[in-house]
Chains A and B, each alone.
Chain A
Amino acid sequence: MSPDAKPILTVNGLVKRFGGFHALDGLSFHVSSGEILGLVGPNGSGKTTAINVISGLYAPDGGTLTYDGASIGGMASHKLVHRGINRTFQIPKPFLSLTVRQNVEVALAYGRAEVAPPKLTDLLEQYHLAELADRPAADLNSSQQKMLDLVRALATRPRLLLLDELAAGLNPTELDWIAGHIKALAQSGLAIIVVEHLMGFIEQITDRVIVMNAGKEIFEGTLAVAVKVPQVIEVFLGGEHGA
């Protein structure tokens, strides 16, 4: 990773309101190709909302999103996918009645990957889904469904990948295994944003973290430094510990 590389995504002053509630209140950060960026923060700090706005589920109410030199704020999700942004979901969202193979085939057919997409069989093999290929996605357990989410995202050949709590619910062996895969993806040139509560996992894979609170960033740097910053300790553990 080269931290000085030109960022592929720049988020500047992003605002998202739900009624009177400011889920994002001027969030700014950037991420570069080949980098794994962690988004951490207490529940309700706006991590998932940030992912949802970047992936086009919600239009921003203010601020700018610049991806690959172009403004993408408010663009429809499928268009963002065609430009190379994809994601997984906190609660996996496969096409339940379709087979595992068909789930991925839809993404291969409609993802408009700019370079040749990876082979379906290789993808399924890598993420331990090959033997389930012809079963309906409804038959998968939740960690397999998470892997299917990831494989579907990878089938569109993203250059920016957003992982929303991919690791939650995985056992320690699976965690090590998926951490290796995520690092390999970053080394192949993807920019990856990881939202995660498991700090050990964050420490293991990220180059840099953004700590969020109340819809904006309060710290940027490595996790090792973050845990010594009083403001970060305060939002995670409460006021008295920060003193």
Chain B
Amino acid sequence: MPSFVRHMLLIVAPLMAAFAILPGVYDNHLLLFNFVIFLILAQGVNIIYGFTGYLPFGYVGFFGAGAYGFAIMVMHLQAPAPLAVLAAGVVGVLLGLLLTPLLRLSGAYFAIANLAAALAVLHFVANPALESITKGPYGVALNGTFNPTLAYIGAVIILALTLGFVVFLRNSSFGMALQAVREDAVSAAMAGVNVVKMRVIAWLVSALVAGLAGGVFAWYVSVFYPDNVFSSDFSIFAIVFALFGGVATIMGPIVGVIILYGIYNLIGFTTPQYFQLIYGVLIMALVLFLPAGLVSLATRRGWNVP
């Protein structure tokens, strides 16, 4: 069996099945929805960071822009929700295009510039002068499209598409070439790879994923403020989850979200002080002993982790 098909059947399909069944047996649907959102965002970070090495500290910028893209489509154009989610993806891509010059930077400089860009988008959207378009800092209420069940299904579909793309990256010469660019851009060019084009494609797909996630999030919650959808928690969580599991794999970010977001929900609300202690210790242990993530426990032994 080709490994692409194997990965789809053994990883993506069971995960989809789980998210199809769980709402019937588990009552906290908001929590399930948030799991789906973080799985999407962690894989989005995986696409740009794991495969190209750019750490998107302002990843939430695309998410928030997507959420407001959805809101504007619904408020001003009375678009049906699924169409507005697609538009949110387009908004993510457009913002990604606008920010492509950032790819000239590398390392921490890219991360900081990306963070600044996300803040700029937040303050642009939250500007009271734009109240007639974005409702400024006063938040939006989209009662007309409120439908958590459909929004959840939409989120699961977006997760499936995102995972499908990551599976493609893991099993294609395209994904291998991206990793080659990450390892050494000059050598990659000498292997005939168009370095700039590859980086831009990965960047825009990553932006598309976050834009779609933002759109479907807006659909689900329907009432939100700029500070909610541009919260840096989204960037930080998505990055930490992806790194914790191990990037440039399919499984790593999934494992990272299930473990860390699971812990967060088990003890994050009830005993926040222990949660912060445990989180801090976990992340420090990770950086010290497993900088390549949990999957490196297996890859160190020579096992291939999909």
Residues in chain A within 8 A of chain B (CB atoms): 55-57, 76-78, 81-82, 86-87, 89, 93-98, 102-103, 105-107, 109-112, 149, 152-153, 155-156
Contact = CB atoms under 8 A, between A and B. Distances in A.
Interface stretch (B83-91, B188-196, B230-238): B188-196
Given A56-B189, A152-B191, 18 more contacts: A78-B189, A78-B190, A78-B194, A81-B189, A89-B186, A95-B179, A95-B184, A96-B183, A97-B248, A98-B180, A98-B183, A105-B173, A106-B177, A106-B193, A107-B191, A110-B173, A149-B187, A156-B192
A77 B173 contact: no
A53 B173 CA distance: 28
A65 B56 CA distance: 39
Contacts of B190: 55, 77-78, 81, 86-87, 107, 152-153
- Among A81, A94, A110, A152, the one with the most B-chain Cβ atoms within 10 Å of its Cβ is A110
Contact of B184 (A57, A77, A94, A112): A94
A96 B192 CA distance: 18
B22 interface: no
A87 to B, nearest CB: 6
B176 interface: yes
A94 B176 CA distance: 13
B179 A97 contact: yes
Q: Is the interface of B mostly helix, strand, loop or mixed?
A: helix
Q: Which 5 A-B pairs have the closest CB atoms?
A: A109-B173, A77-B189, A95-B183, A107-B191, A110-B192
B176 A106 contact: yes
A76 B184 contact: no
B189 to A, nearest CB: 4
Given A98-B176, A102-B176, A81 B184 contact: no
12 contacts: A77-B186, A78-B192, A78-B193, A81-B192, A87-B190, A95-B187, A96-B184, A97-B183, A106-B180, A110-B193, A152-B187, A153-B190
Contacts of A109: 173, 176-177
Contacts of B192: 78, 81-82, 107, 110-112, 156
B98 to A, nearest CB: 24
A163 to B, nearest CB: 13
Interface in B150-196: 173, 176-177, 179-180, 183-184, 186-195
Between B176, B177, B187, the greatest number of chain A beta carbons within 10 A of the residue's beta carbon is seen for B187
A94 B183 CA distance: 8
B302 to A, nearest CB: 9
Contacts of B195: 78
A94 B187 contact: yes
Contacts of B186: 57, 77, 89, 93
A59 B179 CA distance: 26
Given A106-B191, A156-B191, A98 B184 contact: no
A94 B192 CA distance: 14
B189 A106 contact: no
A154 to B, nearest CB: 11
A93 B176 CA distance: 16
B249 to A, nearest CB: 12
B4 to A, nearest CB: 16
Contacts of A89: 186-187
A68 B198 CA distance: 28
B170 to A, nearest CB: 12
A95 B189 contact: no
Contacts of A107: 190-192
Nearest to A94: B187
A111 B191 contact: yes
A8 to B, nearest CB: 18
Given A98-B176, A102-B176, A105-B173, A110 B183 contact: no
A93 B184 contact: yes
B181 to A, nearest CB: 9
Contacts of B176: 98, 102, 105-106, 109
A1 to B, nearest CB: 26
Contacts of B188: 95, 106
Contacts of A77: 186, 189-190
A98 B179 contact: yes
B250 to A, nearest CB: 16
Interface string B186-216: 1111111111000000000000000000000
A195 to B, nearest CB: 16
Nearest to A93: B187
A34 B186 CA distance: 27
A165 to B, nearest CB: 16
A105 B177 CA distance: 9
